[in-house]
Amino acid sequence: MLKEAFSYVLYFYSLLHQTVFPCSFPELLPVTSVNRQQYLGKWYFKAAVSHREADIHKFKALDNVVFTMEETGNNTLLLTGHMRIGDDCVKQTWTYHVHTGREDMELEGRPQRKNLLWSGKWAKCQDCIIFQEVEPPLNESGTVDSLNRHMLYARQKDNAEMVTTFLENAACSNMHASVRPRQEKEFCA
């Protein structure tokens, strides 16, 4: 009886909290209509969030990451990442294709993955971008995406306030799994 009453109190509290302090949601930037030139250049990886730890576990090994985005023509973007893992530098490249009539980008070799761009306003950062990766359930009867994570990228190396805002907004949307690179070592080039 006491447990049931307590659960009702928590339920009504969460409804009241959502009414007084509603969650904010990121603004989608459809890649076919956005000025891609403004997103070219250097980006620092600041944080990743998800509903599940499994979606972000690979980021835990990273000390820091810097990416360079360039347009190679024919609606193709090349993303080059320089990742610091321990004392080692790892370079990796991803190729994204922008298709007419789609709001997302297609990652070469992963056509089932949706790659969405969101405004950095969700982190209260004009010089930020949020990148979301979503993959459908592993089988047709599945109801949960097999991958769904949001990653925050910024033009500047340091700004703890934007990361805090990003994590708070993500938590409000029930994305409690999060990771931030330690940034204790020199960035790779």
Q: Model confidence over 74-114: pLDDT tens digits?
A: 899 999 999 999 999 999 999 999 999 999 999 999 999 99
**Between the CA of residue 140 and those of 54, 55, 114, what are the distances in Å?**
21, 20, 17
pLDDT digits (tens, 9 = 90+) for 55-71: 999 999 999 999 999 99
Position 46 pLDDT exceeds 60: yes
20-24, 35-39, 96-100: least confidently modelled range: 20-24
Position 14 pLDDT exceeds 60: no
Closest by CA position to 123, among listed 181, 174, 68, 170: 170
Q: What is the pLDDT of residue 2?
A: 53
Contact 154, 161 (CB under 8 A): no
Q: What is the pLDDT of residue 5?
A: 53
Identify the DSSP state of 65. E
Q: What is the pLDDT of residue 163?
A: 96
Q: Name residue 101's amino acid.
A: G
Q: What is the pLDDT of residue 6?
A: 43
Give the residue, 137 or 171, on which the prediction is more confident: 171
Confidence of residue 17 (pLDDT cuts 50, 70, 90): very low
Confidence of residue 189 (pLDDT cuts 50, 70, 90): confident
Q: Name residue 26's amino acid.
A: P
Q: What percent of the chain has pLDDT over 70?
A: 89
Give the residue, 3 or 54, on which the prediction is more confident: 54
Position 16 pLDDT exceeds 50: no
Give the residue, 66 or 138, on which the prediction is more confident: 66
Q: What is the pLDDT of residue 9?
A: 46
CATH of 24-179, one of 1.20.1530.20, 2.40.128.20, 3.40.50.970, 3.10.20.440: 2.40.128.20
Q: What is the pLDDT of residue 1?
A: 59
